[in-house]
Structure 1
Amino acid sequence: MTTDAQHAYLEAYLSHLRHERGLSQLTCTHYARDLKLLFSLLEDQPVKQGLTQLTVNHMRRHIATLHGRGMGSRSIARTLSAWRGFFHYLGERHGMTDNPCTGLRAPKAAKPLPQALSADQAVMLVEIQGDDALSLRDRAMLELLYSSGLRLSELVGLNLNALDIRNATLVVTGKGNKTRIVPVGSHAISAIQRWLVARSLMCPPAEQAMFINQRGKRLTGRSVQYRLKEWAIKQGINIDLHPHMLRHSFASHVLQSSGDLRAVQEMLGHANISTTQVYTHLDFHHLAKVYDAAHPRARKK
């Protein structure tokens, strides 16, 4: 199979991911990177194999090559998943009979627990003082991230019509363009209302983005990350903070208080409850600390 043919299959597959499966541009970019890596591995072989000639043994050697280059287990697993999906697509749409990735598994890696703020740290972070527009905006954003467990992409993608102030709910568009309704806490509602007043004085009427920059344009994810790190320093939180940590904190704190894993799954927008179950480990970690500090037979002398 020629390089041009490989490129044509790749473009067709990326179009399928974007338009039929509704994946984001960023996700498609990651798929493209992983598949171009496969094509480069094929080019490096002394005996060239086309996509239709690949076997499980070929793919196993390619995985070993990536491992030998120092690629981590999680990255290999993601790359292998991209390859597997691509060959599945070729089988369905282009008659490729055997998927050479069938049965292959990436090396196992320990799953690190997500980092979460303590309840006191979270409150300290979001209670930003100041009446200037940027402070009001940033408090509204951080309150909302912690109040409703939003992803960064969901936050910056919000439009004004997503918020129902009367019912204290928010319509969120998550992964795969799936929508869900999440509750919004009273502190977040109050912060958003104050921000919307300031926003009306700095934004053209046609702009529908809820969170905007000083030029009246939709705020980017990179800007949110930068502002969050700035506020962590100003608020005295000595942690390398990122937006997803507020999502982890939301999930951990709600689960600790309610014990309702299904409700947390629904609010986070997880397709599988196994993804949400990681927060039960965080909860146990919290309980273990309490036990070690309080139980007479656990305290260290």
Structure 2
Amino acid sequence: MDRAAAQAAEPAPALPAVALDYLAHARVEKRLAARTLSLYTLDLQKLVVFAQAAQVELLALQVPHIRRFAAQMHSGGRSARGIALILSGWRGFFQWAARQGLVPMNPVDGVRAPRAPKPLPKALGVEDALQLMNYVNAGAGAGPPQAGARLPRGAATREAVERGGHFDPWIEARDAAMAELLYSSGLRVAELVGLDVAPGPDTERLARGWIDFAAGEAHVLGKGSKRRIVPVGSAALQALQAWLALRAQPFAAPATPEPALFIGRRGARLTAQSVWVRLRERARQAGLTTSVHPHVLRHSFASHLLQSSGDLRAVQELLGHASIATTQIYTRLDFQHLAQAYENAHPRARRKR
């Protein structure tokens, strides 16, 4: 439940003039969106309720009051993220009030929301990952299309195929290559869809990313426009070669050839959303009960590599993390895996059933 929904059922007191002046400033001078103004209004209404309960004027609130209000929200079951957003709204109001000379200091400064526990990244088990990678569509027995054969034309036909209505070796080869590459190299979905077939005509116009088949490497453009090179496994290279053999098949091709490695049914670069949809459908067809999306395969790549090598620094470099602190979350995931193995295998660890 978002903070608008959470606060909708709460009393909505009349706001004092100073709060209305601040909202007018946010609307006119800061030109905030209507949705943002609505949330700011809800935040100020909640602050007024707290102030009235504490029998303190709005502009007379001090740091201890704000801390107590935050603690009350926490004990009432509001999430750490929700509290942080409300505190941010209050902080903006008091910053404005301080600039107007209405308060000597901002009582929200220094007050932080409770620390939210970092959720563990969701990763597939090794067996599930291999089940997804080894999946072959039942219609694949028909083999690739004959030389010179055209794939189905028309958006309606392609749309039906992409939704799983019919088997199409073109779609199958593309989706298999995407899944293999995501798991093999730990790419972000933006890095995957940014790949081009070739690096570019010259070094001045490099593609966002490309595959060097000779070296078995992927050149990608990651966050912060930072380039990195990651290895590509042999299975992924084979899947990519199979996809490239079909990619050029003519079907409603645009006048200007699309440089993207992965293209959709109309010949344009595949979107990140389309990759999510296709990967989820492929996981369903492969019989996996876990929800699979591109970042799950990135997490699986990192987790399985760390379990096998124990080299956290190498995993950091391969993922393109600026800080190793970001990568360290996989050590928690790895320990969880080890703890489960201990629980299942050690005779003194097994709980009574």
Query: TM-score, normalised to structure 1's length?
Result: 0.72
Residue in structure 2 matching 1:231, options 277, 282, 303: 282
> Residue type matched to 1:282 in 2?
L
In the other structure, the counterpart of 2:326 is 275
Within 5 A, what are the aligned runs for 1:127-276? 127-129=134-136, 130=140, 131=144, 132-160=169-197, 161=199, 162-163=209-210, 164-201=212-249, 202=251, 203-204=253-254, 205-276=256-327
- Checking the alignment, whether the CA contact within 8 Å between 2:188 and 2:295 is kept in structure 1 is yes
SS of equivalent residue, structure 2 residue 195? coil
Q: CA deviation at 1:3?
A: 6.1
In the other structure, the counterpart of 2:163 is none
Q: CA deviation at 1:279?
A: 0.7
Residue in structure 1 matching 2:133, options 126, 141, 146: 126
> Residue type matched to 1:194 in 2?
A
Whole-Å separation in 1 of the counterparts to 2:292 and 2:271:
17
Aligned residues: 271
The percent of aligned pairs where both chains have the same amino acid is: 50
In the other structure, the counterpart of 1:116 is 123
Residues 44 and 251 of structure 1: is their aligned pair in 2 closer, same or farther, counting only changes over 3 Å? Answer: same
Residues 65 and 244 of structure 1: is their aligned pair in 2 closer, same or farther, counting only changes over 3 Å? Answer: farther
Greater C-alpha Rg: 2
Query: TM-score, normalised to structure 2's length?
Result: 0.63
Q: Structure 2, unaligned stretches of length 5 or more?
A: 1-20, 49-60, 97-104, 145-168, 200-208
More helix by share: 1
- Checking the alignment, whether the CA contact within 8 Å between 2:190 and 2:272 is kept in structure 1 is yes
- Checking the alignment, whether the CA contact within 8 Å between 1:83 and 1:101 is kept in structure 2 is no
Q: CA deviation at 1:214?
A: 0.7
Whole-Å separation in 2 of the counterparts to 1:123 and 1:158:
24
Whole-Å separation in 2 of the counterparts to 1:159 and 1:55:
57
- Checking the alignment, whether the CA contact within 8 Å between 1:159 and 1:208 is kept in structure 2 is yes
Measured on the aligned residues, the alpha-carbon RMSD in Å equals 3.9
Whole-Å separation in 2 of the counterparts to 1:114 and 1:102:
32
SS of equivalent residue, structure 1 residue 244? helix
- Checking the alignment, whether the CA contact within 8 Å between 2:26 and 2:37 is kept in structure 1 is no
Whole-Å separation in 2 of the counterparts to 1:177 and 1:55:
44
